[in-house]
Every structure is written in C-alpha cells, then in structure tokens.
C-alpha cells in the first residue's frame, strides 16, 4: 500500500457573495451632556459593486427598481484598497469605538460629533469574505455586515493550488498569504475534485473509505489517503471532494494535511485546487 505525502501550497485568490445590510432600527442614548446621541446606520461609500441585472439595466422602466437599499446591498469593500465607511448619526459622544471586523485593532475616537455622516477609511487585506463592522458609543451599538472581495467581480474566495510534498501538514504560507483564522470564523473549503497519486493508487480529497486507516498514520481517525484540515490544536477536520464547512475553535493558522504515512510521502504526485471561503462575521 502506498502512503500519502504532504503538500506544497501555492496561493492565489478567488469568488463573490452579496453584502448584507444589518437592521436599521434607530438607536438613541443620552451622552454626558444630557442631549440625545443617535447612530442610525452604517454604509459603504466610494467602493466597488457586484453585478446586478436591475442596477446594471439601462432600461428606464427597470432603473427605478434599483433602490438605495438594493444598491447598498451590492457594494463590497475591495481587498488591498481603501474603502470609505459612512456612519450616520446625530449628537456628540465622548468616546466612539470602531471595529472593522477583520481582526485589526479597534479604533477609538474622543468627543465625536455626528452631523449626518461621520466618515472613516479602512483598507482590508488578508482573507476576503464577510466581516461585521461594529460602531459603539454612549451605550449605543450599530453593526453592518459587509463583503470584502477581489476587483473586478467581487469574488470572495481564497484559491489555493495544493501540491503534495514531504511534509504531512503545510501552513498556508506565501507572499500575501492571509493571517491566522480567528476563533468563531466559519470556513468553507471545496476542492475541484482532482486526485493525488499516492504511489500507485490515487484519490481525491475524500480519500479511501474502503479500508481502515492504519494506527501509525498521522490521522488514524480519518480516512486514509485523504486531505485533512487543521487549525491549531482543535480536532482536525475531514477533507472531502465536495464542500466542507466548519467553525474555527481557536485562533491559529490553517493547515492543509494529507493522511499518509510520514515515511512514504516522497512518491506523492498531483495537484488539487481548493476554494476557501471565510466568514468572519461571528469571529472573536
């Protein structure tokens, strides 16, 4: 029986999903002066937009259906390019905190006065996908889910060309590779169905389910000759040719592993394309 090898990782990038607008209920609170402080909504400013048959139409009878709400839902923040964040409200607050939802440090501002739109800029890098912007001040909190994607089509997946090497597990490491996954992040990984040749036999990411995995393999509780995904010391995730979805249990880098004997990794051949979708809306 041949045994699996590990994988060398080459990184590219990938997909797209619609941005989702949070609820628009008006929130009010009294600040230190006793006056009313309000945060009404968060919107994206000068940013990119997903294609849409209604908002892209030149038909004068269709164009009115592209409402401001629909238009806002199609906006996305482009990776590695500054995005304008508009926070709408009224009044003055002694301290306002902005969390851009990507794991970067929160920004704190003192004595902020809202007269309509209060504008911030932020550049997203690392993982594309959904983030949750959170603005808090004077007991008020407003959130807005946004999509971070690639220009020009807003695709929000990270594409990885995975080739086996002599390591059982490989971190995603390359110039411009994304940061560690944060606890609470929801991850979806799907392959293109390609196979890795483990000596003579070859299998896709699902591996060989017809035999029991030997106890001296790196992941005896998972299918032999399969891909396995690992984040920190949390239980590893069984790879499949189809989509695999899991929630990250601890903040750590993502590893792509092969369930093959460590001494027999040298004859593994092939390449698998992985599309990785990361939703950080619930990340801690």
64-76 mean pLDDT = 93
Higher pLDDT, 115 or 276: 276
Q: What is the CA radius of gyration of the chain?
A: 23
What pLDDT score was predicted for residue 24?
Answer: 33
- The answer to whether 90 and 140 have CB atoms below 8 angstroms apart is no
Determine the Cα–Cα distance for residues 131 and 74; give it in Å rounded to an integer.
Answer: 15
- Structure-model confidence comparison of residues 4 and 206, the more confident one: 206
Amino acid 46: pLDDT: 74
pLDDT digits (tens, 9 = 90+) for 216-225: 999 999 999 9
**Domains detected in the chain:** 6-14+156-279 (2.60.120.430), 27-149 (2.60.40.10)
3-state secondary structure 46-76: CCEECCCCCCCCCCCCCHHHCCHHHHHHHEE
The string of DSSP codes covering 123-172 is E--SS-EEEEEEEEETTEEEEEEEEEEBTTTTB-EEEEEEEEES-SEEE-
pTM for the full model?
A: 0.82
How confident is residue 145, by pLDDT bands cut at 50, 70 and 90? Answer: very high
Q: What is the pLDDT of residue 78?
A: 95
Lowest mean pLDDT among 27-41, 133-147, 149-163, 213-227: 27-41
């Amino acid at each position: 029986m041949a045994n699996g090898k590990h994988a060398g990782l080459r990184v590219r990038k990938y997909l797209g999903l619609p941005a989702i607008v949070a609820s628009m209920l008006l929130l009010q609170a009294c600040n230190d002066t006793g006056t009313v402080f309000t945060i009404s909504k968060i919107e994206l400013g000068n940013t990119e937009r997903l294609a849409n048959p209604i908002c892209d139409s030149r038909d004068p009878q269709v164009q009115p259906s592209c409402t401001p709400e629909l238009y806002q839902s199609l906006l996305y923040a482009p990776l590695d390019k500054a995005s304008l964040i508009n926070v709408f409200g009224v009044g003055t607050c002694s301290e306002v905190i902005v969390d851009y939802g990507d794991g970067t440090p929160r920004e704190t501002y003192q004595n902020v006065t809202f007269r309509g739109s209060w504008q911030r800029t932020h550049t997203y890098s690392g993982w594309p996908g959904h983030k949750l912007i959170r603005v808090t001040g004077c007991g008020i909190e407003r959130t807005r889910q946004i999509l971070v994607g690639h220009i020009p089509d807003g695709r929000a997946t990270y594409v990885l060309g995975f080739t086996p090497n002599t390591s059982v597990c490989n971190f995603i490491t390359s110039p411009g590779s994304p940061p560690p996954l944060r606890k609470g992040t929801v991850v979806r990984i799907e392959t293109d169905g390609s196979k890795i040749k483990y000596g003579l036999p070859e299998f896709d990411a699902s591996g060989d389910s017809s035999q029991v995995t030997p106890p001296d393999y790196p992941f005896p509780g998972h299918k032999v000759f399969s891909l396995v995904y690992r984040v920190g010391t949390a239980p590893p995730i069984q790879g499949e040719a189809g989509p695999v979805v899991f929630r990250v249990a601890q903040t750590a880098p993502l590893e792509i592993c092969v369930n093959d004997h460590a001494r027999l990794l040298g004859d593994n051949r092939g390449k698998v394309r992985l599309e990785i979708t990361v939703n950080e809306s619930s990340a801690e």
